[in-house]
């Protein structure tokens, strides 16, 4: 009887139903990208070409994520605040679109300028791959902005299907042109997929949501709060996103193919992380709405941290059991020694979810309460620790030292962020 009541309660909970639905749809939509490393391994094995691709991919996505992380989450509370006032909403979205467009174009131009300066000092294959990949920054950043807006409108299905729209083009182009373009076919597929997704999002906002975007540089003025929060997250994202680059730079000094093995291992971990990401997609606009309704914010935050930690513990348990058989299916052609390394990398990364998941809860409330300066502070600390831990642990454990360093860094980062957030929260609310 108790189990029946619990099941019924969950079934009738909009949050539970939406979370389950987002997870199912996003999981299915992410299948092409989830198995993309398998496709790359099938065609190109572990080689210098795959190392150049994964390194260029990491560089470009790191650069794009400087803005993506800022706009995709920060836009949600700002949009939710304006949902009842359409003219004010359209003014904000048009301003955000204009601001983010300018920022992403400037970022891309600066990246090309820097690449021209350093290309004679780096691997020619890496320079070519990076140059080809850089234009995707514009589409990645704007699509993240659109994703945040769709999330604000609780259009979870459309939001969750976005990876499928872009991912299918990567597969088609790679399969058709892998012989003629080689590894570059994957990059062309990424570019085409994100461009098509950009056009789809514009169409959906205009025709379905009836949101008219009027790009105009004058719209940028009056975006002070959004720009301030975005800048702080930009700095935080730059430091946080630099950790994977540091990992790959260190891995490149270990042995040929180390970067590829690191990426192969991280891909399955991202699949388990997607389960909890579904929860955050649903809860961010809900939490933003409830801030003005709930009086005991501290209890609400603690409850959500405990709930997410409990869920992540179950996911970790399942992930540790399922990792090896899933990886065997994903990478049937990888040599046994390399396969064992991938399994170990995945398992260590999965354990890190116990710290990453509650950290994401705290980060969401940091954004909602607009304490974004804390993101800068924690990112500086974690970046420094990441560099130190990577060097120390790889000297002792080789390639496995990288995920071990990440595990320790995530644990310390979560504890510090929680302490700083509650201190800020208690100080501000004590004044009111």
pLDDT (tens digit per residue) in 99-114 = 888 889 998 999 899 9
Tell me what the mean pLDDT of segment 408-424 comes to: 88
Distances, alpha carbon 257 to alpha carbons 251, 286, 407, in Å: 9, 44, 22
Q: What are φ and ψ of residue 291, in 5° steps?
A: -60, -40
pLDDT (tens digit per residue) in 18-65 = 666 666 776 677 777 777 777 777 777 767 777 788 888 888 887 888
Q: Residue 8: pLDDT above 60?
A: no
pLDDT score, position 411: 92
pLDDT score, position 1: 47
The CA angle 376-382-269, to the nearest 5 degrees, is 110
Closest to 376 measured CA to CA, from 272, 225, 232: 232
pLDDT (tens digit per residue) in 71-83 = 777 777 778 778 8
pLDDT-derived band at 138 (thresholds 50, 70, 90) equals very high
Closest to 5 measured CA to CA, from 17, 13, 20: 13
Helix (H), strand (E) counts: the chain = 17, 0
pLDDT score, position 147: 87
Burial class (CB in 10 A: 0-12, 13-18, 19+), 416: middle
Tell me what the mean pLDDT of segment 175-204 comes to: 87
pLDDT score, position 240: 66
pLDDT score, position 412: 92
Q: Kindly provide the b/e burial profile for residues 41-76, where b requires at least 16 CB atoms within 10 angstroms of the residue's own CB.
A: bebbebeebbbbbbbbbbbbbbbbbbbbbbbbbbbb
pLDDT score, position 432: 47
Q: End-to-end distance of the chain based on CA atoms, in angstroms?
A: 45
For the entire predicted model, the pTM comes to 0.67
The token pair that represents 1 in the structure block: 């009887």
């Amino acid at each position: 009887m108790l189990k029946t009541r619990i099941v019924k309660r969950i079934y009738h909970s909009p949050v539970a139903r939406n979370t389950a639905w987002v997870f199912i749809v996003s999981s299915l939509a992410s299948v092409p990208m989830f198995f993309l490393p398998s496709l790359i391994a099938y065609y190109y094995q572990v080689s210098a070409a795959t190392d150049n691709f994964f390194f260029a991919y990491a560089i470009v996505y790191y650069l794009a994520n400087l803005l993506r992380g800022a706009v995709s989450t920060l836009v949600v509370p700002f949009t939710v605040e304006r949902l009842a006032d359409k003219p004010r909403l359209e003014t904000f979205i048009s301003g955000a679109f204009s601001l983010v467009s300018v920022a992403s174009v400037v970022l891309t131009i600066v990246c090309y300028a820097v690449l021209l300066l350093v290309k004679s000092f780096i691997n020619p294959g890496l320079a070519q791959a990076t140059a080809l990949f850089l234009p995707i920054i514009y589409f990645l950043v704007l699509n993240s902005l659109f994703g945040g807006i769709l999330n604000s409108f609780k259009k979870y299905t459309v939001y969750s299907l976005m990876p499928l729209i872009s991912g299918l083009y990567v597969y088609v182009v790679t399969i058709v042109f892998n012989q003629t373009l080689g590894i570059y076919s994957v990059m062309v597929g990424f570019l085409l997929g994100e461009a098509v997704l950009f056009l789809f999002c514009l169409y959906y906002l205009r025709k379905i949501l009836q949101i008219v975007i009027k790009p105009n540089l004058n719209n940028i003025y009056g975006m002070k709060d959004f720009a301030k929060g975005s800048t702080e997250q930009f700095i935080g994202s730059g430091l946080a996103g630099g950790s994977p680059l540091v990992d790959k730079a260190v891995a490149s000094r270990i042995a040929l193919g180390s970067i590829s093995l690191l990426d192969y291992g991280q891909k399955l971990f991202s699949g388990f992380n997607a389960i909890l990401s579904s929860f955050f997609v649903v809860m961010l606009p809900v939490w933003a709405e409830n801030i003005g309704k709930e009086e005991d914010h501290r209890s609400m935050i603690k409850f959500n941290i405990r709930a997410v930690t409990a869920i992540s513990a179950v996911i970790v348990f399942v992930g540790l059991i399922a990792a090896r058989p899933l990886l065997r299916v994903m990478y049937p052609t990888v040599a046994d020694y390399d396969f064992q390394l991938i399994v170990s990398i995945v398992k260590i990364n999965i354990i890190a979810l116990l710290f990453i998941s509650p950290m994401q809860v705290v980060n969401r409330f940091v954004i909602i309460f607009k304490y974004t300066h804390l993101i800068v502070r924690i990112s500086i600390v974690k970046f420094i620790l990441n560099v130190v831990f990577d060097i120390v642990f790889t000297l002792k454990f080789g390639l496995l030292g990288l995920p071990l360093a990440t595990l320790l860094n995530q644990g310390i980062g979560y504890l510090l962020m929680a302490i700083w957030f509650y201190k800020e929260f208690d100080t501000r609310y004590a004044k009111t």
